[in-house]
Amino acid sequence: KTKRDWWRSVVVYQIYPKSFQDTTGSGTGDLRGIIQRLDYLAQLGIDLIWLSPVFASPQVDNGYDISDYRAIDPMFGSMEDMRELIAQGKKRGIGIMMDLVLNHSSDQHPWFLQASSSRDNPYHDYYVWRDGMPDSPPNDMQAAFGGSAWTWVPQVGQYYFHQFVPQQPDLNWENPALRREIYDMILWWMEQGVEGFRLDVIDQIAKEPDRYITSNGPRLHEFLRELSRETFQKGCLVTVGEAWGADLQRAKQYSAPDGSELSMVFQFEQMMLDQQPGKEKWDLVPLPFVKMKASFARWQQGLHGCGWNSLFLDNHDLPRIVSRWGDDGAYRVQSAKLLATMLHGMQGTPYIYQGEELGMTNVRLPIQDYQDVEIQNFYQKRLGDGYPQEEIMNSIYAKGRDNARTPMQWDDSPNAGFTVGTPWLKVNPNYTAINAQSQLADPDSVFHYYRKLIALRKQYPVFVEGDFALLEAEHPRLFVYRRAWQGEELLVVCNFGGEATPWQLTQEWEDAQVLLSNYPQHPGDLRPWEAKIFYRK
């Protein structure tokens, strides 16, 4: 890749490797499984794979706890397989983005084993330590998945800081030696031929626990500019930072066109709208539709020409969007297509999470079948706090991370063609009806709709370049917007719900071409979950 901002016109597909394709019968997916499915991805038309972590890991948090950044976990295969994946991807025009977890490592990483052996060890300062007494931590900060953010190590007589589970000790970015070590590791991956990186909770690296600061610490952008200069800018890479703490102002800085920090960030403003303000994601409220439109519009306009958006509705931490904002019953197919239209009509780099292109849905499992540490900790916590069991389970059904992590549904054979063994997490029982094989054979499937959306983005530059105007801003059901660039225009119309809605094209659009729709054309009201993209020149 030679053009610095080549990633503005690409579409990324996220693979959660543990749940994608097993080739050994182990019950967990592997790299050879991904290689086997590259032709499927090429048919979909994506340009890049964001590979959730495949590095050596004790797998307490499914690979987001790395014990060796330069090795592949044997569960997924070998470095040989990784090289093969990169090479086979390249043949099909598909690049690989690795998922770097730089805020913390595993507690089994040799750095941490050294660090926790003595205060004088040179690695001690790679982590964040504070003095204290065995039963009184330095302060009352809580970890993301429950419990104190401090864990006592008798050997050194100190606490270490962890924003996630105790097996994920936070790295100390204040230490230049640690930073150098990280840069060398990234340069090494660049030599292996990867085309980019997704950076896990990157807004949390500059923590200052004494001041209760986790995200957006004072030195954050200084660290990012150094990281970028020492690594990414030496190649022509795409980078996306996960930043729950990013507002529009900060996103501008992260994604500044001079390339001084990152290509773009994942921000979560829209994803936090259907939870009670100030509460946890588990505390549900219906999606405030008008607010949601306004929020997308603000980001579309706010970053136009001075930053770059990432576009996503799903990932491995989020519930399935068709169950969340769509209708996974009677209108599953139509609403999955509508959500795709709404998102892919916007400016930014779209990300598709595995199975989203099939309209895969949430799942309901008995509590003991959930594998996610966050779900299990949440369940115990709320039980202890006296919540009724039914209410807790409803939160898990709606928001639990395992909704996204059930195995990929390839066909209607046992275990959905994911494994011949016992899957690590139960397959969603709807795989006999929802699977890739049947959708590939059906020209009206969700899969083929995504394929067409991706193709349109490549064919019409207005998808990539156009500005954004929200129409019908106050309408309680319609999401309508216009994109324009050098005399080309798009009109995206979405009837967000199960009721028919009257709507009239204005005169200037009457002769416009319909580029894509999830219904056959007819002159009357918009039908339930109907979506259309018009084009004119």
Residues 32, 109, 179, 281: which binds ligand TEU (CB under 6 A)? Answer: 281
Cβ(361)–Cβ(354) under 8 Å? no
Which of 263/347 has CB closer to ligand TEU?
A: 263
Minimum distance from CB of 343 to ligand TEU (Å)?
19
Retrieve residue 447's tokens.
């899969």
Q: How many residues bind ligand TEU (CB under 6 A)?
A: 14
> Which residue in the shown chain puts its C-beta closest to ligand TEU?
64
Minimum distance from CB of 518 to ligand TEU (Å)?
30
User: 3-state SS of 116-172?
Assistant: CCCCCCCCHHHECEECCECCECCCCCECCCCCECEEEECCCCEEEECCCCCCCCEEC
Q: Could you tell me how many residues make up the chain?
A: 537
Distance between CA 15 and CA 26 in Å, rounded? Answer: 18
Q: From residue 161 to residue 180, what is the string marking binding to ligand TEU with x (rule CB under 6 A)?
A: ---x----------------
- Nearest-CA neighbor of 263 among 201, 198, 353? 198
Single-letter code of the amino acid located at 293 = K
Which of 169/417 has CB closer to ligand TEU?
A: 169
465: number of Cβ within 10 Å: 17
Sequence-separated (6 or more) residues with CB below 8 Å from residue 279: none
Sequence-separated (6 or more) residues with CB below 8 Å from residue 278: none
For the chain, the C-alpha Rg in angstroms (whole number) is 23
Minimum distance from CB of 108 to ligand TEU (Å)?
15
Which of 186/396 has CB closer to ligand TEU?
A: 396
Residues between 422 and 481 with contacts to ligand TEU, criterion CB under 6 A: none
3-class DSSP state for residue 107? coil
Do β-strands 150-153 and 478-485 pair in parallel, antiparallel, or remain unpaired?
unpaired
Q: Encode 366-377: b = buried (16+ Cβ within 10 Å), e = exposed.
A: eeeebbbbbbbb
Kindly state whether residue 317 participates in binding ligand TEU, applying the rule CB under 6 A.
yes
Locate the DSSP E strands across 472-530: 478-485, 488-495, 513-517
Distance between CA 23 and CA 33 in Å, rounded? Answer: 6
Residues 10, 49, 190, 201: which binds ligand TEU (CB under 6 A)? Answer: 201
Distance between CA 368 and CA 365 in Å, rounded? Answer: 8
Which of 31/202 has CB closer to ligand TEU?
A: 202
- The region that residue 101 occupies, defined by phi over 0 for left and psi between -120 and 50 for alpha, beta otherwise, is beta
Q: From residue 93 to residue 112, what is the string marking binding to ligand TEU with x (rule CB under 6 A)?
A: --------x-----------
Retrieve residue 448's tokens.
């083929």
Which of 281/452 has CB closer to ligand TEU?
A: 281
Retrieve residue 93's tokens.
């025009």
Minimum distance from CB of 26 to ligand TEU (Å)?
21
Kindly state whether residue 535 participates in binding ligand TEU, applying the rule CB under 6 A.
no
Minimum distance from CB of 164 to ligand TEU (Å)?
5
Which of 64/223 has CB closer to ligand TEU?
A: 64
H-only helix segments in 368-445: 373-384, 389-399, 402-405, 436-440
Residues between 41 and 80 with contacts to ligand TEU, criterion CB under 6 A: 61, 64
- The region that residue 305 occupies, defined by phi over 0 for left and psi between -120 and 50 for alpha, beta otherwise, is left
Minimum distance from CB of 473 to ligand TEU (Å)?
29
Cβ(468)–Cβ(481) under 8 Å? yes
Residues 42, 71, 144, 256: which binds ligand TEU (CB under 6 A)? Answer: 144
Kindly state whether residue 200 participates in binding ligand TEU, applying the rule CB under 6 A.
yes
Which of 185/256 has CB closer to ligand TEU?
A: 185
Minimum distance from CB of 29 to ligand TEU (Å)?
16
Which of 244/450 has CB closer to ligand TEU?
A: 244
Which H or E run includes 36? helix 31-36
Minimum distance from CB of 65 to ligand TEU (Å)?
7
Kindly state whether residue 401 participates in binding ligand TEU, applying the rule CB under 6 A.
yes
Kindly state whether residue 12 participates in binding ligand TEU, applying the rule CB under 6 A.
no
Residues serving a catalytic function are 200, 242
Residues 244, 418, 449, 450: which binds ligand TEU (CB under 6 A)? Answer: 244
Supply the DSSP string of 507-532, one letter for each residue: GGGTT-EEEEESS---SSSBPTT-EE
Q: Where on the chain is the footprint of ligand TEU (CB under 6 A)?
A: 61, 64, 101, 144, 164, 200-201, 242, 244, 281, 316-317, 374, 401
